[in-house]
Amino acid sequence: MNSSEGDPVPGEGRPREDRDKKGRWVGVTLEQRQIRLDGPEELSQLSYQGILITHYDAETKISEAWVPLGVDPSEADDEELIQRLRGALLWQAGKQTAE
């Protein structure tokens, strides 16, 4: 099955036919971010993974929240992710404002 048949489209977090619907929805994607640092060439770039939670109202992006994923996540890291996902789903249901 390809993207046009209902599979999630990379980077969009939900099937193509669902993105065309009106209303609030949340996209959750695993991403790699890179930042540039001052210093020696071999140490000038840092790359790390995280989860991007994006709030949409119909086709309009409302906000984004970045949750870094550590190599060895702590219980506090897990709790933050759970709370952000919970908040995103409550927002989707119309029960709170976007972060």
- Whether 97 is in a domain gets the answer no
In a domain, 65, yes or no: yes
Q: Name the band, by pLDDT with cuts 50, 70 and 90, for residue 13.
A: low
pLDDT given at position 96: 81
40 part of a folded domain? yes
Range of the domain at 82: 3-92
* Residue 33 domain-assigned (yes or no): yes
Percent of the chain with pLDDT over 90: 45
Report pTM. 0.68
Residue 89 scores a pLDDT above 90: yes
Judged against a pLDDT cut of 50, whether residue 55 lies above it is answered with: yes
- Residue at 63 is within a domain: yes
In a domain, 56, yes or no: yes
pLDDT band at 26 (very low <50, low <70, confident <90, very high): very high
What is the reported pLDDT for 42? 63
Residue 5's pLDDT is 43
Output the average pLDDT for the chain. Answer: 79
pLDDT of residue 73: 84
Q: How many domains does the chain divide into?
A: 1
User: What does the alpha-carbon distance between residue 98 and residue 27 come to, in Å, rounded to a whole number?
Assistant: 13
Tell me whether residue 98 is in a domain. Answer: no
Distances from the Cα of 72 to the Cαs of 29, 34, 76, 83, 84, in angstroms?
A: 20, 19, 11, 19, 19
Does residue 21 lie in a domain region?
Answer: yes
What local confidence, expressed as pLDDT, does residue 99 receive? Answer: 65
